[in-house]
Amino acid sequence: MKKIIIAIDGPSGSGKSTTAREVAKKLNYLYIDTGAMYRAVTLAWIKSGNEFSNETICEIIKNIKIELKITDEGQKTFLNGSDVSFDIRKPDVTKWVSPVSAIDCVRTAMVEMQRNIGKDGGIVMDGRDIGTVVFPNADLKIFLVASIEERAKRRQKELSQSGIHLSFEEVMAQLETRDIYDSSRANSPLKKAADAILLDTSSLTIEEQTDKVVNLALKIINQ
């Protein structure tokens, strides 16, 4: 059976990771969360104690090893051999990840890794630039959106499940800041690819949004 590449892009909290994970499970595909890679770079820089500058971060990029391992519990992210899956979700990383991911050398290195991981197909990759830059020829491109209120509600719940308690207003402000950064950066900004299918998940259940993507994928696979 044909093994396709599915690109899922959209802003934070639009439902990308949940949808991508569930779609991958149903199709027996590999799910790759590319945001985790940018978070791992950000964590490496924070741990280095260096000031924020393109030069420092580009130097760090040359000397770190980021690995994604697929386990029964999902994707685990490793930085220089240590499991950092929990640490990359901490508020400090979330605060800095947008500026770090706007740096050219960071994007070049991550995009190369992502292309390598996905080149044989059978993959669902989520991020901001998967359909526009990483895999512009992806077989299926989905661009997820949702209202800011709904996205903040989801993000707040997700954070509280991992022990991080922030007010609704704080989460919403963080999302808005990140939206502006991610959509206005010069290098591969968050934007819908012309041939991506727009899906508003504001009033959809996880099951509904997963089914919509799986059905679109099956049509292409069985073509």
Where does this chain bind ligand DC (CB under 6 A)?
12, 34-35, 38-39, 97-98, 101, 127-130, 178, 182
Dist CA 216 CA 122 (whole Å)? 15
Q: How far is the CB of 190 from ligand DC (least distance, A)?
A: 7
Closest contact distance (angstroms) between CB of 129 and ligand DC is 5
> How large is the greatest C-alpha to C-alpha distance in the chain, in angstroms?
52
Indicate the residue among 99 and 121 with the shorter CB distance to ligand DC: 99
Rounded to an integer, what distance in angstroms lies between the CA atom of residue 17 and that of residue 47? 26
Looking at the Cβ atoms of 7 and 214, the one nearer to ligand DC is 7
* Minimum distance from residue 86 beta carbon to ligand DC (Å): 13
Burial 202-213 (b: 16+ CB within 10 A, else e): eebeeeebbebb
Q: Please, what is the minimum distance in Å from the beta carbon of residue 200 to ligand DC?
A: 18
Q: Sign of dihedral through CA atoms 69, 8, 161, 95?
A: positive
Smaller CB distance to ligand DC: residue 27 or 102?
A: 102
Closer residue to ligand DC, CB minimum distance, 129 or 216: 129
Nearer to ligand DC, 50 or 177 (CB): 177
Report helix, strand or coil for 166. coil
Among the listed residues 3, 2, 1, 5, the one whose alpha carbon sits nearest the alpha carbon of residue 139: 5
Shortest separation between residue 217's beta carbon and ligand DC, angstroms? 20
Strands (E) across the chain are located at 5-9, 30-33, 66-71, 74-79, 82-83, 123-127, 140-145, 197-200
CB of 178 to ligand DC, least distance (A): 5
Between the CA atoms of 89, 81, 107 and 105, what dihedral angle is there, to the nearest 10 degrees? 120
Nearer CB in complex with ligand DC: 65/115: 115
